[in-house]
Structure formats: C-alpha cells, structure tokens
Chains A and B, each alone.
Chain A
Amino acid sequence: MSHVAEDTLPERPAVLAKVKPLTTLPRRPLVLHNRDFHWITNKICGIVEDPAPTWWWVCFVVSLGIASFLGVGLLWLVSTGVGVWGLRTPEFWGWDIVNFVWWIGIGHAGTLISAVLCLLRQKWRTAINRASEAMTIFAVMCAGVFPLFHVGRVWFAWWLFPIPNSQSTWPNFRSPLEWDVFAVSTYFTVSVLFWYMGMVPDLGTLRDRAVKTWRKYFYGVLAMGWRGSTRHWRNYEMAYLILAGLSTPLVLSVHTIVSFDFAASLLPGWHTTIFPPYFVAGAIFSGFGMVLTLVLPLRAMYKLHDLITQYHIDCMCKIILATGSMVGYAYAMEFFIAWYSGNIYEGFTFINRAFGQYAWAYWIMISCNVISPQFFWFRKVRENTALVFIIVLFVNVGMWFERFVIIVTSLANDFLPSSWGYFSPSIVDIFTFFGTMGFFSTLFLLFIRFLPMLPIGEIKHVTPPADPHYHPEAQTGGHS
C-alpha cells in the first residue's frame, strides 16, 4: 500500500462517499430476528404457562430419584457417625470438602454474570442471568450440606453461629472456618435477595397474564403489587445497581475465604499465597462450565435460539478460555514456587501430585482444565453446540478433580511418612455426592417450571426499540 502513486490518493474520498463505510461497527444483536416485546413476553411466559412437556416430567422423576440418594447418604451418616465417610488418618477432609468447594465454585458464575457483568455493562448477560442466579442459589444449597454434616453432630451445627449456648462459649473468630460460615451464609442470603428482586417485575408480568386463580394468588403475592411505575423503576434500578456493586466484592471474598481454609493451614501444597486469586478464577471457570451445561439443553428444548444466541455462547466460551488459562497459569506457578522456594516439603508435594499415587487424578485435572478449554480459540468449535457441551462437561469434571488433587494429595502424604495413606471414598460418600446432583436438578427443574427462566423486562430493555431515542426508520439494519 505504501507504493500507491501519489496521484491516486485524491480519488479515495470519492470512493469512500460511494461505499459509505460504517462509522461504527455494528454490534451483534442480543435478540435475533427483530422480535418485538410481545413476542419476548409470550415466549418466556409460555415456558411457565404451557403444560409441562414430557421430557420435563421424565427429568423431574429421575432427578427426584437421584436426590433420594442424598437422603439415604445423610441418614446413614447421621445414624452411624462421620466414620462412614471414607475419612481416616491422615485424611480427615475427603470428598465432602471436595464437593463443598466444587459446588460453591459453581455458584460463582451466577453472581459474576448478574453482578460483575452488570457493572461492566455487558448487555449479553441479560439472557442468561436469571438461570445462572438460580444455579448459584441451588449450588450453594448443595455446597452447604457437606460442611453442615461434616461437623458430625449436625444437631449442634448452630454452634457455628454466634448464638448463646448452654456452655457460655462463643465461636472463635480467628478460624478461617468461622469466616467461611459468615461468607457462605452472607453469599447465600445476598444471592437470594438479588435473584428475587430481579424477578419481581417479571413475576408481575406472569401475574397480569394469569388466568387460573391459584396462579393469580401465587404470582400476585410474589410480585408484591409491582406495577412498572417509573417512580418505582427509579428506586429499583438504583437498588439493583447497588446490589450488583455489593455482590462483586462479595463473590470475590467468598472463594477467597474458602481458599483461606487451606491457605491459613501449614500443610505443603495448601499454605500458599496464590490460593485466593487461583480459587476465584477456578470458581468462575467451573461456574461458566455449569451455566453452559444447563443453558444449552434448555435452549434446545424450549427453542430459545433467538434469545440465547450464538453471541452469548461465544462470550461464555471466551470467559471459559480466559479463566481456564488463568487456572493453567496458576498450576504452573505453583510448581515454579515449589521449586523456587527451596522448601523440600513443598517440592515433594508437587512432584508427588504429578507423579505419585494420585498422578491419575492430576492428569485428569490438567487435561480437562488446561487443555480442553483451549479448543475455544477456534470459532468453529464455539459454533458447534454439541462440541461446546462436551467441553464444558470436561470442565465440570476437571474442576472437581482440581479440588480432589489439592485436598487429597496434600493430606495423604503429609510430614510424617508413618501415617501416609491412600484415600478411597466409601459408598456413603458416593451416594451423598450423587444425591446432591439430583437435589440440584430437582430444584432447577422446579425453577424453570414455576418462575420466569429468562428476565423478561431486562431482555426487552437491551433491544434497540427500548431506547426512547430510537427511530425505526433511522435503523441501519445490517443484521437480520
């Protein structure tokens, strides 16, 4: 181009006037096919109002069946003792803590989508934020089961809270486990408030469309008499923004504090400063994996392709790629520091992780978490829904193994070789973990059946006609 003759240059403006290049690049639309507001209302409310499809009943019954394993597992545990979990010297944190961290990490994507992306004005969050927030709440409920029952005498679990008891003692606030009590319970409460407040206008929509009496009462009570007043929207939007602003430091603190459970101990492999950011990145990584695992089938079953578009999937895949790479970097950095610190125990732990008795778990973790998301560099992969679904399943598995590797390898081969052991889960461990998946699915299926799965008002709000300065005739179009 630098060799273009001088005399050809003056012609360029004329060419530009002819081809009319866009001054701003068009953004990818968030709702395809220029769907109008009424279509959006009908589509989303239809999911709740139409009779439950057969697949829903099949999934619901299967989920309930799986959830019953949780009941059996917990009943077995409570009636016998914590010993029925595969916990024995030197492993006193096993699958229960692995599952706790895994579930709570999954929850983080919901808050990230609803809060952090709200502050960053990422409009694509609107189509998926409601379902992700629901996922957060149910995942935290599943997570809560494990530490609650790990305390052994679950009927004394209330001692964790600062409530006066007959021994006149109080919780020790120096313990990261006590911080966890506050972090997780705050996280759960704030997530529920945020989720519910976001849903109030949409519950109003369902109330206004309700025909059956029970629906009028059910949605009427939940909608709190919402009437879409501008005077209300003003306070509502302010409160929503503030809740997003509060949830952002909250979500970062929750997994940071979860990582303190490990980092504040003295065990090689746990006692590291990299844990807080590493755990938060991993949590977002696994959470987005779970969001896609849930959203892709729902999109296909309810034909939501105009609302949850390829653009949304692209964005989520890119976040998985970014956080997956961060996690990969953290794995590498842990190894480097183990060598660079010159601490022989630290060095042994990491060599042992990769090549010791749990090498199989370590390499599952590396393949699922570091290698599998790298496929998302390619547009062809991101646009192949089946492939995306398979990769995110790997992400879910990989992140479970990450927690397994961290917890089990460090404990199994600690400072005292005479107490080394090999951890194997018991049938009760497996039942309980399997059961939480059913519990989660049951709650999620009930959610999509009775509550608006996508935010109706927010999706309308991000379409171009919602802008008071929008002129249909001035619309340049360019995208179908």
Chain B
Amino acid sequence: MSDIFGIMAEYKTPHDIYEACGEFRDAGYSCSSKWDTYTPFPVHGLDKQMGIGRSHVPWIVLAGGITGFTTGALLTWYMNGFDYPLVVGGKPYWSMIYPFPVMYELTILFSAFGAFFGQFLTNFLPQHYHSAFNNEGFKRHSDDAYFILIEATHPLYDEAKTRALLEKTGAYNITLVNK
C-alpha cells in the first residue's frame, strides 16, 4: 500500500473532465490539494471547477515591479546625483524626470522576472521526477488525453470508493500509480 502514489484515470474530452471535476468537488475532494488534473492545454474554468483559488503570481510581480522602480531611482540618484554629480546645463543633479526611462525599463524588467520566476516558484518547477510519469500512458497528457490523479494521501482517498466515483463520472483506464 505504501508504494501507491495514487489512483489515475483518463477522460475522453475536456467536457468530460470538466463535468467530472465538478462531481469530485461536490463530493468534497477540494478540501485538499492532493488531487489534480492534467490536460494538454489549459481547459478554461477547470481550476474553478476543482475549487482552486486564484494564482499568487501577481503578488510576486508587484514585488518585482516595486523593486525595479526603486532600483532604477536609487541607481540613477547614486551614480549621477551623489557619487559622481555632474552639472549639466545648471540643472539639478538628480530629478525624477530625466532618468525616468531607466526606472521605467527596470520596473518592467523586474516585474517580468517576477512573472517568470514566480510562475516556476509557485508551481514548484523544475521538478524532473513526478510519480504521474510512472503510468506509461500518462505521456499522452501533452497530446490529447485528460488525466485525473487522486493521491493516496488525500483525506478522502479510499481505493474502492474513489474508483467507484471515477467510474461513475465516466473515467476509463483507471490505474494505480506507484510512487
């Protein structure tokens, strides 16, 4: 039993998996994150159907943007206004205006870092080993198959009951996946 990672099954269409996830959610499965679906493209509304909340990536982007803007302001102030002040046309050593393009670009750059690394961070990627791949048929998840996986550590996991619910929702190729 301890070798079992979870129970995996396949659905035929995005519509089937969408409806099935609704049934699993109603059966109380969204109480834990120990179940997941795998699709070749984002099926719209499937995350809501599974009862998953909103992504946290925007907060990381916001943090990146603030960091970028501050970096741009401090960088230009330190270099042109403090450490090596230059008199150009009698204008102030530093103002918010002239180095604005630099702050603007750094805001975008650091926000983009936030989005890019935030996505990998929140998804715990890269993760090159995952038990789902122990199911040989799972390779088709990136082609045209729609998988559901309920992990053995899920509080509602019960091999017989979960299998029955999978069958009821029209799943096929129901298999146990090793760790």
Residues of A within 8 A of B (CB): 36-38, 41, 162, 168-174, 176, 178-179, 182-183, 186, 189-190, 193-194, 197, 201, 204-205, 207-209, 220-221, 224-239, 242-243, 246-247, 249-250, 253, 257, 260, 456-458, 460-461, 465-471
Contact = CB atoms under 8 A, between A and B. Distances in A.
B42 A237 contact: yes
Contacts of B9: none
A173 B40 contact: no
A350 B25 CA distance: 70
Contacts of A178: 102
A242 B104 CA distance: 16
A209 B18 CA distance: 26
Contact of B102 (A173, A227, A242): A173
Contacts of B58: 238, 242
Contact of B76 (A173, A176, A232, A238): A173
A179 B101 contact: yes
B172 interface: no
A232 B99 contact: no
Contacts of B120: 224
A232 B115 contact: no
A186 B108 contact: yes
A234 B52 contact: yes
A261 to B, nearest CB: 12
Contacts of A197: 116, 119
B43 A230 contact: yes
A97 B123 CA distance: 43
Contacts of B14: 465-468, 470
A225 B119 contact: no
A171 to B, nearest CB: 7
Interface stretch (B128-136, B151-159, B161-169): B128-136
B141 A227 contact: yes
Interface string B27-67: 00000010011111111111100101011111001000000
B125 interface: yes
B3 interface: no
Contacts of B4: none
B80 A173 contact: yes
Given A171-B79, A204-B142, A230 B52 contact: yes
Given A227-B130, A234-B55, A461-B42, A189 B109 contact: yes
A225 B141 CA distance: 13
Nearest to A197: B116
A428 to B, nearest CB: 32
A284 B10 CA distance: 44
Interface in B94-123: 98-99, 101-102, 104-106, 108-109, 111-113, 115-116, 118-120, 122-123
Given A197-B116, A234-B47, A461-B42, A242 B37 contact: no
A411 B85 CA distance: 32
B109 A186 contact: yes
| 4 A-B pairs with the lowest CB-CB distances in the bound complex, closest first | A468-B18, A170-B79, A239-B119, A37-B144
Given A172-B80, A173-B76, A179-B101, A465 B122 contact: no
Given A193-B112, A208-B142, A243-B116, A236 B79 contact: no
A243 to B, nearest CB: 5
B148 to A, nearest CB: 10
26 contacts: A36-B144, A170-B84, A172-B88, A173-B102, A174-B99, A176-B101, A183-B101, A186-B106, A190-B109, A193-B112, A208-B142, A230-B42, A230-B47, A231-B123, A233-B39, A234-B42, A234-B52, A235-B57, A238-B55, A238-B57, A243-B112, A243-B115, A243-B116, A246-B112, A457-B42, A470-B14
